[in-house]
């Protein structure tokens, strides 16, 4: 439990420069309208497929997305500014994870409001040492 | 590690994340004899999906690089100038390793590509060179569906047999700190799991591979070297004769299995 | 540093005016995070693609800042709204060494 709360505290500290642009801590934001596709068990930490489907609240459209990996040395994995005022958006990419963790997706809308959702994964590594 | 993952799930306050789709279903091996399965059967659904579409498959980048190298559209000396269209080289990848009378050793396709490139104004260096691997990928892609056709001409049959026997001996000899022979896992324990790995019979039908944990393409030479480190044995240098002998043995063992073309691995 | 980086742009989905297709972009860039060391123990300097911008008919539609958590080869898929007149989707990238590249595909209704 201690390790987990230390990791969470560290993650939050690392997020500090980034959370300064957010209105609230991530876990207080609503996750409505966000669907994440992320494997529960990742084949390898070096390439974890990630998909985010975002539907904007009615009357609003999407302006920006952030993908955050709190346990990575550089937690801000990807930041997108979106033009064209979409109400639906699907983002797909592949991420490198330093350790098992949750990926966070933050969606920013045109009125400045934010929503966030997260999905956990456990990194599996190859059973045999690879020194090739 | 699993415990802290579980606890951090609790911490995040959501055990029933209805908005998260589990991308990978439980991995299942097909029914039937396991010892004839290629590595393809051991891919997770997520990797199978990635491989199935050229627009998501990382190997597409290497294949496109190879096509442009082959035809010389980037303004350099091209393979096509000597070899013609790549379609005419369809059988090339099925015939390696070969015994080179000139070099008095077994050579594989990547060795041959390196040798060929020495005759051009742009000689390539290193078995794991990106261009070598991309050309190997293209040639194996052209051979997809064809079985290995390793054979020796009459005049070198004796030497051939010596190499094949050496490969068979390596496959069944214990090595490394773990004191294991290849056969212990890849013949006797196929289908069993080690951590999150499921042991395959180790057939060489999917080379060159894009291994996600390498984040790059790699040859059979590299993968076999990784096997040596896997049993904590001294890793042979790239191009070592034992690696070619093992490759020869593995392809003989896989006689009749079709080449799958360059494949993804985790 | 100056070897050309191969990129690939695929536009997938049914192309209908007013509809949406998916642009799938990938680049064979080493994406060196700056954390790796080579065989002699020397740190490999950071060199990643840090900016990717997508244009539809020369209008910016997506502006991405990439971090070291992006895999090599880089893969990014995003939606593109299909205009009635069709057009060209262009994706440009830039890395830490200053190298840049661009790829484009035509949207045909």
Q: Which chains touch B (3 or more CB pairs under 8 A)?
A: A, C
Asked if residue A20 has pLDDT above 50, the reply is: no
- Paired tokens of A131: 């020194």
Q: Is residue B239 part of a domain?
A: yes
Residue B57 included in any domain:
yes
Question: Which pLDDT band, with edges at 50, 70 and 90, does B250 fall under?
Answer: very high
- What does the CA dihedral C58, A82, A95, A3 come to, rounded to 10 degrees? 160
What is the CATH class of A2-122? mainly beta
Q: Which residues contact C55 (CB under 8 A, 6 or more apart)?
A: C61, C89, C90, C91, C92
User: How sure is the predictor about B67, in pLDDT bands with cuts at 50, 70 and 90?
Assistant: very high
Say if C28 is an interface residue toward chain B (CB within 8 Å). yes
- Domain extent at residue B49: 35-266
A chain contacts of residue B23, beta-carbon cutoff 8 Å: 37-39, 49, 51
What CATH number did the domain enclosing B125 receive? 1.10.760.10
Per-residue pLDDT of chain C (109 residues; tens, 9 = 90+): 457 899 999 999 999 999 999 999 999 999 999 999 888 899 999 999 999 999 999 999 999 999 999 999 999 999 999 999 999 999 999 999 999 999 999 998 8
Contact between C60 and A83 using a beta-carbon 8 Å cutoff = yes
Structural domain boundaries in chain A: 2-122
Count CB-CB contacts under 10 A for residue B113: 22
Strands A62-68 and A48-55, sheet pairing = unpaired
Query: From residue B140, how far is each of A96, A98, A123, B95, B264 by CA, in Å?
Result: 29, 33, 31, 11, 14
Q: Is the pLDDT of residue A102 over 80?
A: yes
- C-alpha dihedral (B73, C50, C70, B138), degrees to nearest 10: 0
For chain A, list the contacting chains (3+ Cβ pairs, <8 Å). B, C
Interface contact B55, partner C, CB < 8 A = yes
Q: How many residue pairs from chains B and C have C-beta atoms closer than 8 A?
A: 32
3-class DSSP state of C7? strand
Q: At what angle do helices B241-253 and B157-171 cross, to 10 degrees?
A: 90
Task: Give the containing element (helix H, strand E) for C58.
Answer: none
DSSP collapsed to 3 states, B166-186: HHHHHHCCCECCCCECHHHHH
The SS3 assignment for B213 reads coil
Find where tokens 């699993």 sit: B2
**How is the beta sheet containing C74-81 ordered, strand by strand?**
B20-21, A34-37, A48-55, A88-95, C74-81, C20-27, C7-12
pLDDT digits (tens, 9 = 90+) for B175-186: 999 999 999 999
- Partners of B213 on chain A (C-beta within 8 Å) are 44, 46-47, 125-126, 130
Q: Which of C11, C2, C7 is nearest to C28 (CA)?
A: C7
CB atoms within 10 A of CB A28: 10
- Written as six digits, the tokens of B218 are 């790699």
Fold of C7-101: Immunoglobulin-like (2.60.40)
Tell me the Ramachandran region of residue C99: left when phi exceeds 0, alpha when psi lies from -120 to 50, beta otherwise: beta
Total structural domains in chain B?
1
Asked if residue B241 belongs to a domain, the reply is: yes
Distance from CA of A7 to the nearest CA of B (A): 9
CB B38 within 8 A of CB B206: yes
Chain B nearest-CA distance from C85, in A, is 25
Give me the phi and psi of B118, to 5 degrees please. Answer: -65, -20
Where is mean pLDDT largest: B41-45, B68-72, B173-177? B173-177
Q: Which pTM value belongs to this model?
A: 0.87
Tell me the C-alpha to C-alpha distance, in Å, between residue B119 and each of A38, B78, B79. Answer: 48, 11, 11
Q: Chain B contacts of C26, Cβ < 8 Å?
A: 58, 60-61
- The ranges assigned to domains in chain C are 7-101
Of A74, A80, A88, which has the smallest distance from its Cβ to C69's Cβ? A74
Task: Give the closest residue to A104 by CA, choosing from A29, A41, A45.
Answer: A29
Question: From start to end of A1-132, where are the E strands?
Answer: 34-37, 41-42, 48-55, 62-68, 76-82, 88-95, 101-109, 114-123
Phi, psi dihedral angles at A107 (to 5 degrees): -110, 130
Average pLDDT on B3-17 reads 41
B107 touches B240 (CB < 8 A):
no
CA distance C46 to C1: 12
Which residues make Cβ contacts (< 8 Å) with residue B87, sequence separation at least 6?
B142
For residue C93, give how far its alpha carbon lies from the nearest alpha carbon of chain A (Å): 14
């Amino acid at each position: 439990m201690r390790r987990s709360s230390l990791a969470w505290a560290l993650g939050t500290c690392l997020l500090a420069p980034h959370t300064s642009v957010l209105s609230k801590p991530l876990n207080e934001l609503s996750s409505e309208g966000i669907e994440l596709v992320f494997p529960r068990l990742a084949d390898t930490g070096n390439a974890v497929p990630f998909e985010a489907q975002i539907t904007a609240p009615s009357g609003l459209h999407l302006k920006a997305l952030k993908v955050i990996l709190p346990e990575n040395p550089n937690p801000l994995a990807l930041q997108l500014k979106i033009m064209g005022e979409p109400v639906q958006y699907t983002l797909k990419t592949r991420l490198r994870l330093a350790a098992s963790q949750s990926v966070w997706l933050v969606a920013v809308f045109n009125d400045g409001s934010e929503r966030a959702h997260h999905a956990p994964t456990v990194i599996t590594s190859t059973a045999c040492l690879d020194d090739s | 590690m699993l415990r802290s993952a579980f606890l951090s799930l609790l911490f995040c306050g959501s055990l029933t994340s209805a908005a998260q789709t589990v991308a990978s279903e439980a991995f299942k091996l097909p029914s039937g004899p396991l010892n004839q399965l290629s590595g393809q059967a051991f891919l997770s659904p997520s990797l199978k999906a990635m491989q199935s579409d050229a627009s998501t498959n990382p190997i597409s980048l290497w294949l496109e690089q190879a096509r442009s190298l082959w035809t010389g559209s980037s303004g350099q000396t091209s393979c096509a100038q000597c070899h013609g269209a790549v379609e005419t080289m369809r059988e090339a990848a099925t015939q390696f390793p070969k015994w080179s009378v000139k070099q008095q050793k077994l050579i594989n396709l990547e060795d041959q590509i390196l040798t060929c490139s020495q005759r051009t104004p742009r000689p390539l260096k290193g078995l794991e060179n990106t261009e070598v691997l991309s050309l190997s990928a293209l040639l194996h892609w052209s051979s997809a569906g064809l079985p290995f056709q390793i054979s020796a001409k009459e005049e070198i049959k004796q030497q051939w047999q010596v190499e094949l026997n050496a490969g068979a001996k390596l496959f069944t000899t214990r090595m490394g700190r773990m004191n294991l022979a290849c056969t212990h896992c890849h013949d006797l324990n196929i289908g069993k799991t080690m951590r999150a790995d499921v042991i395959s019979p180790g057939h060489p039908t999917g080379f060159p591979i894009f291994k996600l944990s390498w984040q790059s393409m790699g040859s059979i030479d590299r993968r076999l070297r990784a096997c040596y480190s896997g049993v904590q044995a001294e890793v042979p240098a790239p191009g070592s004769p034992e690696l070619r002998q093992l490759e020869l043995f593995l392809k003989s063992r896989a006689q009749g299995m079709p080449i799958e073309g360059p494949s993804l691995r985790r | 540093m100056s070897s050309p980086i191969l990129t690939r742009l695929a536009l997938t989905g049914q192309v209908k005016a007013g509809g949406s297709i998916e642009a799938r972009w990938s680049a064979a860039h080493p994406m060196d995070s700056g954390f790796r060391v080579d065989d002699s123990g020397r740190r490999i300097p950071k060199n990643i693609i840090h900016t990717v911008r997508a244009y539809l008919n020369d209008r910016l539609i997506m502006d991405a800042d990439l971090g070291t958590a992006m895999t090599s080869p880089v893969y990014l898929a995003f939606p593109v709204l299909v205009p009635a007149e069709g057009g060209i989707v262009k994706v440009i990238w830039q890395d830490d060494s200053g190298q840049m590249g661009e790829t484009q595909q035509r949207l045909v209704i």
